Chain A
């Protein structure tokens, strides 16, 4: 089946997103 894969850079870009904060 499908898996949810995230690259490191993508995860890092969400670090300071409004939702994360």
Chain B
């Protein structure tokens, strides 16, 4: 229902338009689809490099978020939920980070995503950063969990852009598994 994003000729257009969402898990409440959907708040959208920086400069760094909060950066038209049509057959790479690394890794990840560094066509859906008590987590969601060439390329690109050591904790999980 939102109008299309306008870009001036002087701006650097991105391959895709993106939407940033914020969510916070309510303590003590059982999560369900309705509450998860209601907890997702749209922060802003952008379709150019300049619009991205304009939004990003107003955000707190992930390391400053309170526990159980999340930023979701997804292509416009894809909601950051397993149930979205684009995500139903998909999955996500999960990278667990010790405290202190998340802000830098998140920035490097989204710059790679916006700059089309993953080189997997239309497969990328979005990225999520989750702040937890003893660790932080970043995830990259893609459309087709069964496309092993794509998931391998995403994994390798993640290792490269995040400078992860070989021992870093990385796990791929299909959304089907999460739904079950």
A19 CA to B54 CA, complexed, in Å:
9
Kindly state the interface size class of chain A when it binds its partner.
Answer: 10 to 19
Check if A4 sits within 8 Å of B14, measured CB to CB: yes
Question: Smallest CB-CB separation from B11: which chain A residue?
Answer: A19
Kindly state the interface size class of chain B when it binds its partner.
Answer: 20 to 34
Min CB–CB distance B6 → chain A (angstroms): 13
B78, CB-defined interface residue at 8 Å? no
A12 CA to B15 CA, complexed, in Å:
17
Question: Smallest CB-CB separation from A13: which chain B residue?
Answer: B49
Q: Tell me the B45-60 residues at the A interface (CB within 8 Å).
A: 49-50, 52-54, 57
Shortest 8 CB-CB contacts between residues of A and residues of B: A6-B115, A20-B53, A4-B15, A19-B50, A20-B50, A5-B116, A8-B111, A14-B49
